[in-house]
Structure 1
Amino acid sequence: MRHEVTAGDTALAVGSGDVEVLATPRLITWLEYTTAQLALTTLEPGQTSVGTSVRIRHRLPTRVGDTVDIAADGPEVDGRHLRFQVRATNSAGQLVADGELERVVVDRERFLANVP
Protein backbone atom coordinates (compact mmCIF):
# COMPACT_ATOMS: atom_id res chain seq x y z
CA MET A 1 0.00 0.00 0.00
CA ARG A 2 1.43 3.37 -0.99
CA HIS A 3 0.89 6.63 0.90
CA GLU A 4 1.99 10.13 -0.03
CA VAL A 5 3.21 12.12 2.96
CA THR A 6 1.14 15.29 3.36
CA ALA A 7 1.46 18.22 5.76
CA GLY A 8 -1.20 16.52 7.91
CA ASP A 9 1.03 13.45 8.32
CA THR A 10 3.95 15.30 9.89
CA ALA A 11 5.20 15.22 13.45
CA LEU A 12 4.36 18.90 13.71
CA ALA A 13 0.75 18.31 12.61
CA VAL A 14 0.03 15.33 14.86
CA GLY A 15 1.86 16.73 17.88
CA SER A 16 4.59 14.11 18.18
CA GLY A 17 7.40 16.54 17.39
CA ASP A 18 8.21 19.90 15.88
CA VAL A 19 9.54 18.95 12.45
CA GLU A 20 7.70 18.62 9.16
CA VAL A 21 8.55 15.00 8.36
CA LEU A 22 6.46 11.85 8.56
CA ALA A 23 5.27 11.34 12.14
CA THR A 24 5.93 7.99 13.76
CA PRO A 25 2.29 7.76 14.98
CA ARG A 26 1.03 8.21 11.40
CA LEU A 27 3.48 5.60 10.15
CA ILE A 28 2.25 3.16 12.79
CA THR A 29 -1.35 3.86 11.74
CA TRP A 30 -0.49 2.91 8.15
CA LEU A 31 1.30 -0.25 9.34
CA GLU A 32 -1.62 -1.23 11.58
CA TYR A 33 -4.15 -0.69 8.80
CA THR A 34 -2.18 -3.03 6.56
CA THR A 35 -2.03 -5.77 9.20
CA ALA A 36 -5.73 -5.35 10.03
CA GLN A 37 -6.56 -5.92 6.36
CA LEU A 38 -4.34 -9.01 6.20
CA ALA A 39 -5.88 -10.35 9.41
CA LEU A 40 -9.29 -10.42 7.72
CA THR A 41 -8.18 -13.53 5.81
CA THR A 42 -7.97 -15.50 9.08
CA LEU A 43 -11.25 -14.42 10.71
CA GLU A 44 -14.48 -16.34 11.10
CA PRO A 45 -17.89 -14.63 11.00
CA GLY A 46 -18.40 -12.58 14.17
CA GLN A 47 -14.68 -12.15 14.78
CA THR A 48 -12.42 -9.14 14.50
CA SER A 49 -8.81 -8.48 15.41
CA VAL A 50 -7.37 -5.85 17.70
CA GLY A 51 -3.84 -4.51 17.89
CA THR A 52 -1.97 -5.52 21.03
CA SER A 53 1.72 -4.87 20.42
CA VAL A 54 3.83 -2.62 18.22
CA ARG A 55 7.62 -2.85 17.95
CA ILE A 56 8.78 -0.47 15.23
CA ARG A 57 12.14 1.07 14.39
CA HIS A 58 11.56 4.35 12.54
CA ARG A 59 14.91 4.55 10.76
CA LEU A 60 14.72 7.47 8.28
CA PRO A 61 12.78 10.73 8.05
CA THR A 62 10.43 11.20 5.10
CA ARG A 63 9.66 14.61 3.61
CA VAL A 64 6.23 15.94 2.68
CA GLY A 65 5.52 14.95 -0.92
CA ASP A 66 7.52 11.72 -0.82
CA THR A 67 5.76 8.36 -0.88
CA VAL A 68 5.97 5.48 1.54
CA ASP A 69 5.23 1.89 0.58
CA ILE A 70 3.90 -0.26 3.41
CA ALA A 71 4.29 -4.04 3.36
CA ALA A 72 3.60 -6.83 5.83
CA ASP A 73 4.38 -10.53 5.92
CA GLY A 74 2.17 -12.94 7.78
CA PRO A 75 0.31 -13.53 9.78
CA GLU A 76 2.18 -16.08 11.82
CA VAL A 77 -0.70 -17.63 13.77
CA ASP A 78 -0.31 -18.82 17.38
CA GLY A 79 -3.78 -19.60 18.65
CA ARG A 80 -5.63 -16.27 18.70
CA HIS A 81 -2.39 -14.29 18.26
CA LEU A 82 -1.41 -12.99 14.83
CA ARG A 83 2.16 -11.77 14.32
CA PHE A 84 3.21 -9.67 11.31
CA GLN A 85 6.63 -8.54 10.11
CA VAL A 86 6.23 -5.03 8.69
CA ARG A 87 8.33 -2.58 6.73
CA ALA A 88 8.07 0.80 5.06
CA THR A 89 10.23 2.07 2.21
CA ASN A 90 10.47 5.50 0.60
CA SER A 91 10.38 6.36 -3.11
CA ALA A 92 14.15 5.77 -3.34
CA GLY A 93 13.69 2.22 -2.00
CA GLN A 94 15.31 3.06 1.34
CA LEU A 95 14.07 1.35 4.47
CA VAL A 96 12.10 3.93 6.46
CA ALA A 97 10.87 1.57 9.18
CA ASP A 98 10.63 -2.08 10.11
CA GLY A 99 9.41 -4.19 12.97
CA GLU A 100 6.65 -6.42 14.23
CA LEU A 101 2.97 -5.90 14.99
CA GLU A 102 0.72 -8.28 16.87
CA ARG A 103 -3.04 -8.57 16.76
CA VAL A 104 -5.41 -10.82 18.70
CA VAL A 105 -8.55 -12.39 17.28
CA VAL A 106 -11.63 -11.66 19.41
CA ASP A 107 -15.37 -12.23 19.25
CA ARG A 108 -16.65 -8.79 18.20
CA GLU A 109 -19.80 -8.75 20.38
CA ARG A 110 -18.09 -10.12 23.49
CA PHE A 111 -15.22 -7.65 23.07
CA LEU A 112 -17.56 -4.66 22.72
CA ALA A 113 -19.66 -5.82 25.68
CA ASN A 114 -16.58 -5.52 27.89
CA VAL A 115 -15.66 -1.99 26.87
CA PRO A 116 -16.36 0.31 29.88
Structure 2
Amino acid sequence: MKDTLKPGIRYEHKFLVPSSKTVPALYPEAEEFLAMPEVFATGFMVGFLEWACIKCINPHIDWPAEQTVGTHINVSHQAATPPGLEVTASVTLVEVDGRRLVFEVQAHDGVEVISKGLHERFVINRAKFDAKVGSKLRPAGT
Protein backbone atom coordinates (compact mmCIF):
# COMPACT_ATOMS: atom_id res chain seq x y z
CA MET A 1 0.00 0.00 0.00
CA LYS A 2 1.20 3.48 -0.83
CA ASP A 3 1.24 6.45 1.57
CA THR A 4 -1.42 8.05 -0.64
CA LEU A 5 -4.01 5.50 0.55
CA LYS A 6 -5.85 7.83 2.94
CA PRO A 7 -9.46 8.71 3.74
CA GLY A 8 -10.94 11.31 1.44
CA ILE A 9 -10.08 9.67 -1.89
CA ARG A 10 -13.08 9.98 -4.22
CA TYR A 11 -13.98 8.36 -7.51
CA GLU A 12 -16.90 8.47 -9.92
CA HIS A 13 -17.61 5.59 -12.30
CA LYS A 14 -20.22 5.41 -15.07
CA PHE A 15 -21.82 2.39 -16.74
CA LEU A 16 -24.55 2.04 -19.37
CA VAL A 17 -26.88 -0.71 -18.13
CA PRO A 18 -27.32 -3.44 -20.79
CA SER A 19 -30.04 -6.13 -20.77
CA SER A 20 -27.36 -8.61 -19.67
CA LYS A 21 -27.20 -6.90 -16.24
CA THR A 22 -30.91 -7.19 -15.43
CA VAL A 23 -32.68 -9.48 -12.96
CA PRO A 24 -33.56 -12.24 -15.50
CA ALA A 25 -29.86 -12.45 -16.46
CA LEU A 26 -28.60 -12.73 -12.87
CA TYR A 27 -29.33 -16.45 -12.55
CA PRO A 28 -30.81 -17.68 -15.83
CA GLU A 29 -31.01 -21.14 -14.22
CA ALA A 30 -33.63 -19.79 -11.78
CA GLU A 31 -37.19 -19.81 -13.10
CA GLU A 32 -38.09 -17.17 -10.49
CA PHE A 33 -35.49 -14.70 -11.79
CA LEU A 34 -36.56 -15.28 -15.40
CA ALA A 35 -40.11 -14.22 -14.49
CA MET A 36 -38.99 -10.94 -12.85
CA PRO A 37 -38.86 -7.43 -14.37
CA GLU A 38 -36.00 -6.51 -16.69
CA VAL A 39 -34.32 -3.91 -14.46
CA PHE A 40 -30.75 -3.50 -13.14
CA ALA A 41 -30.29 -6.43 -10.75
CA THR A 42 -29.22 -5.79 -7.17
CA GLY A 43 -26.45 -8.39 -7.56
CA PHE A 44 -25.02 -6.58 -10.58
CA MET A 45 -25.47 -3.20 -8.87
CA VAL A 46 -23.38 -4.44 -5.93
CA GLY A 47 -20.69 -5.55 -8.37
CA PHE A 48 -20.81 -2.13 -10.03
CA LEU A 49 -20.28 -0.42 -6.66
CA GLU A 50 -17.36 -2.78 -5.92
CA TRP A 51 -15.88 -1.98 -9.34
CA ALA A 52 -15.97 1.75 -8.56
CA CYS A 53 -14.23 1.18 -5.20
CA ILE A 54 -11.55 -0.95 -6.86
CA LYS A 55 -10.88 1.73 -9.48
CA CYS A 56 -10.81 4.36 -6.72
CA ILE A 57 -7.93 2.82 -4.80
CA ASN A 58 -5.92 0.86 -7.38
CA PRO A 59 -3.59 3.86 -7.95
CA HIS A 60 -2.89 3.82 -4.19
CA ILE A 61 -1.85 0.16 -3.87
CA ASP A 62 0.82 -1.97 -5.54
CA TRP A 63 -1.55 -3.27 -8.24
CA PRO A 64 -1.65 -6.12 -9.35
CA ALA A 65 0.48 -7.73 -6.61
CA GLU A 66 -1.85 -6.07 -4.11
CA GLN A 67 -5.56 -6.19 -4.76
CA THR A 68 -8.71 -5.73 -2.70
CA VAL A 69 -11.57 -8.10 -1.95
CA GLY A 70 -15.02 -7.17 -0.73
CA THR A 71 -15.71 -8.23 2.85
CA HIS A 72 -18.94 -6.41 3.70
CA ILE A 73 -21.68 -4.58 1.85
CA ASN A 74 -24.57 -2.63 3.37
CA VAL A 75 -26.42 -0.74 0.66
CA SER A 76 -29.97 0.09 -0.30
CA HIS A 77 -31.44 -0.58 -3.70
CA GLN A 78 -34.18 1.99 -3.60
CA ALA A 79 -35.15 2.54 -7.24
CA ALA A 80 -35.45 0.42 -10.38
CA THR A 81 -33.28 1.21 -13.41
CA PRO A 82 -34.22 -0.07 -16.88
CA PRO A 83 -31.57 -1.07 -19.42
CA GLY A 84 -30.33 1.82 -21.52
CA LEU A 85 -29.86 4.24 -18.64
CA GLU A 86 -26.38 5.23 -17.49
CA VAL A 87 -25.66 4.67 -13.82
CA THR A 88 -23.03 6.65 -11.94
CA ALA A 89 -21.34 5.38 -8.79
CA SER A 90 -19.80 7.99 -6.49
CA VAL A 91 -17.51 6.47 -3.89
CA THR A 92 -15.42 7.98 -1.09
CA LEU A 93 -12.84 6.18 1.01
CA VAL A 94 -13.84 7.14 4.56
CA GLU A 95 -11.70 4.83 6.71
CA VAL A 96 -8.34 3.08 6.46
CA ASP A 97 -7.68 0.68 9.34
CA GLY A 98 -4.55 -1.28 8.42
CA ARG A 99 -5.59 -3.28 5.36
CA ARG A 100 -9.32 -2.72 5.99
CA LEU A 101 -10.92 -0.01 3.84
CA VAL A 102 -14.41 1.46 4.26
CA PHE A 103 -16.20 3.38 1.51
CA GLU A 104 -19.35 5.48 1.42
CA VAL A 105 -21.06 4.59 -1.86
CA GLN A 106 -23.95 6.00 -3.83
CA ALA A 107 -25.38 5.28 -7.28
CA HIS A 108 -27.65 7.43 -9.44
CA ASP A 109 -29.34 6.49 -12.73
CA GLY A 110 -29.68 10.00 -14.14
CA VAL A 111 -33.22 10.23 -12.81
CA GLU A 112 -32.83 9.43 -9.12
CA VAL A 113 -30.57 7.92 -6.47
CA ILE A 114 -30.81 4.15 -6.77
CA SER A 115 -28.44 3.08 -4.01
CA LYS A 116 -26.47 4.33 -1.03
CA GLY A 117 -24.60 2.79 1.86
CA LEU A 118 -21.24 1.44 2.96
CA HIS A 119 -18.83 -1.05 1.45
CA GLU A 120 -15.80 -2.62 3.13
CA ARG A 121 -12.80 -4.04 1.28
CA PHE A 122 -9.58 -5.66 2.45
CA VAL A 123 -6.16 -5.27 0.81
CA ILE A 124 -4.64 -8.66 -0.04
CA ASN A 125 -1.36 -9.95 -1.39
CA ARG A 126 -2.60 -11.80 -4.48
CA ALA A 127 -0.02 -14.62 -4.36
CA LYS A 128 -0.67 -15.38 -0.68
CA PHE A 129 -4.42 -15.16 -1.21
CA ASP A 130 -4.31 -17.59 -4.15
CA ALA A 131 -2.20 -20.04 -2.13
CA LYS A 132 -4.67 -19.97 0.76
CA VAL A 133 -7.68 -20.42 -1.51
CA GLY A 134 -5.88 -23.23 -3.35
CA SER A 135 -5.37 -25.07 -0.08
CA LYS A 136 -9.16 -25.45 0.17
CA LEU A 137 -9.05 -27.70 -2.89
CA ARG A 138 -6.44 -30.05 -1.42
CA PRO A 139 -7.58 -32.77 0.97
CA ALA A 140 -6.56 -32.18 4.60
CA GLY A 141 -3.17 -33.64 5.49
CA THR A 142 -1.77 -33.68 1.93
**Could you state the TM-score of these two structures normalised by the residue count of structure 1?**
0.90
Could you tell me whether the CA contact under 8 Å between 1:39 and 1:82 is conserved in 2?
no
Aligned to 1:60, the other structure's residue is in SS state: coil
| Structure 1 residues 27-62: Cα deviation after superposition (integer angstroms, max 9, x where no partner) | 111100111112213324632211111111000001
Aligned to 1:21, the other structure's residue is in SS state: coil
Q: Which consecutive unaligned segments of at least 5 residues does structure 2 have?
A: 1-12, 137-142
TM-superposed deviation, 1:90? 1.2
> Would you say 1:108 and 2:108 are equivalent positions?
no
Aligned to 1:65: 84
Aligned to 1:28, the other structure's residue is in SS state: helix
In structure 2, the CA distance between the partners of 1:39 and 1:96, relative to structure 1 (3 Å rule), is same
Distance (Å, rounded) in 2 between the aligned partners of 1:29 and 1:44: 22
Q: Find runs of 4+ consecutive structure 1 residues off by over 3 angstroms.
A: none
Aligned to 1:82: 101
The structure where strand makes up a greater share of residues is: 1
Distance (Å, rounded) in 2 between the aligned partners of 1:42 and 1:2: 21
Distance (Å, rounded) in 2 between the aligned partners of 1:65 and 1:47: 34
**Could you state the TM-score of these two structures normalised by the residue count of structure 2?**
0.74
| Structure 1 residues 66-96: Cα deviation after superposition (integer angstroms, max 9, x where no partner) | 111111011520111000111100112x110
